[in-house]
Amino acid sequence: MLQAYMIYSRFLGPSEGAGLVFAHSVREARKVGWQRTSGDFTDDFLDFAAKRIRNSPWILGEANVNKLASDEPHVIDNPRSCSICEHWGHSPIGNDELCEDCRPAPAPVESRPCPNCGSNRRTSLAGNIVCLGCGMYYAPAREEEE
């Protein structure tokens, strides 16, 4: 079974650039990763580190499906990363291209449904109340006059 490893320069640290390798062992991850990326993260094989990404079963979603099925070690050149913090490997990256640390908390649901269509409404980041059904905006001030 393939495991996920992060490859990077031991000297610079993974925050300065890291690659994703699926392999069976640290040794294999270093070997496969080096063959593919030598020079990208470091010029020195002794400085080239591979570290198991633990407790992150979702990272398998980043693997090549065919190579995962055939148990073939491989490198993911550009793992999907968060569009804000630019990191990967610490939490799943959603379809919004954000990690869990950077994703804003969902806006609270308004207690009263939309007068237009009856769907739930949320407060937008700009402070307006927006209907999730028909998309109509309501200014909070006008809301209080109702």
**What does the binding site for Zn ion look like in residue numbers (CB under 5 A)?**
82, 84-85, 99, 102, 114, 116-117, 119, 131, 133-134
∠ Cα 87 99 129 (to 5°) = 140
Shortest Cβ 96–Zn ion spacing (Å): 11
Query: What is the nearest approach in angstroms of Zn ion to the Cβ of residue 52?
Result: 22
Cβ atoms of 59 and 4 within 8 Å: the answer is: yes
> Could you tell me the smallest distance in angstroms from the CB atom of residue 126 to Zn ion?
18
Q: Evaluate whether 81 touches 93 at the Cβ level (below 8 Å).
A: yes
Question: Contact 41/19 with Cβ under 8 angstroms?
Answer: yes
Which C-beta is closer to Zn ion: that of 85 or that of 107? 85
Q: Give 25 or 83: the residue with its C-beta nearer to Zn ion.
A: 83
